[in-house]
Amino acid sequence: MIGKTEIATRTAEIIAPYLALEGPAMPMLHAVQAAFGFVPEASVPVVADALNLSRAEVHGLVSFYHDFRREPAGRAVLKLCRAEACQACGADRIAAHASEVLGIGWHETTPDGAVTLEPVFCLGLCAAGPCGMVNERTVARLDTARLDAILEAVR
């Protein structure tokens, strides 16, 4: 775990290229999360300072958007679609299976830090549901066997 000062220094470097953009806040926060895996508390004042915003306003951004994490996730993030088109194809059963196999609920991480389970609302693969995402990789036509194979590979 790196210290707060180092996080602040690295955050300043990470966000520097975005300063010239119009409305740079979101690209900056995406870049911070891409670098650290989450938006560290120590990054917030640095971003706020760069944008001439209050820390509360930047905190408000981080907490508003589902994508931004305030804590590190597991080594793998499994997102399962909960939206209607996937529900029509049995998404609830897939989610229950994942929850049972991993022993965790939505937004939780397995005790060994291997997998974080998250809901997602639509990946645009609605004609091949149920679908999900393993880290950056999208997967479709999930069944329990495919899901088991995916979990086996990331654990």
Partner 1 sequence: MTRIYVPRDALAVSLGADDVAAALRAACPDALIVRNSSRGMAWLEPLVEVETEVGRIGYGPVEATDIPSLLAAGLLGGGAHAKRIGRPEDQPFLARQTRITFARAGLTDPVSLADYRAHGGLAGLTRALGMSPAELIDEVAKSGLRGRGGAGFPTGIKWRTVQLAPSAQKYIVCNADEGDSGTFADRMVMEGDPFLLIEGMIIAGLTVGATRGYVYLRSEYPHAITAMNEAIGVALREGVLGDSVLGSGHAFHLEVRVGAGAYVCGEETSLLDSLEGKRGQVRAKPPLPALSGLFGKPTVVNNVLSLAAIPDIFAGGAAAYQALGMGRSRGTMPIQLAGNIKHGGLFEVPFGITLGELVMEIGGGTASGRPVRAVQVGGPLGAYFPPALFDTQFDYEAFTARDGLIGHGGIVVFDDTVDMARMARFAMEFCAIESCGKCTPCRIGSTRGVEVIDKIIAGDSKQLALLEDLCDTMKFGSLCALGGFTPYPVLSAIRHFPEDFSRHQPALAA
Residue 6 burial (10 A CB sphere; 0-12, 13-18, 19+): exposed
**Dist CA 38 CA 67 (whole Å):** 9
Q: Which residues here bind partner 1, judged by CB under 8 A?
A: 22-27, 29-30, 51, 60-61, 64-68, 83-89, 120-129, 131, 133, 136, 138-141
Q: How far is the CB of 53 from partner 1 (least distance, A)?
A: 8
Query: Judged by CB, which is closer to partner 1: 16, or 121?
Result: 121
Q: How far is the CB of 131 from partner 1 (least distance, A)?
A: 6
Q: How far is the CB of 112 from partner 1 (least distance, A)?
A: 26
> What letter represents residue 86's amino acid?
C
Of 133, 137, 128, 118, give the one whose Cα is nearest residue 89. Answer: 128
Query: Judged by CB, which is closer to partner 1: 104, or 128?
Result: 128
Query: Judged by CB, which is closer to partner 1: 84, or 148?
Result: 84
Q: How far is the CB of 3 from partner 1 (least distance, A)?
A: 27
**Dist CA 74 CA 115 (whole Å):** 5
Question: Are the C-beta atoms of 123 and 132 separated by less than 8 Å?
Answer: yes
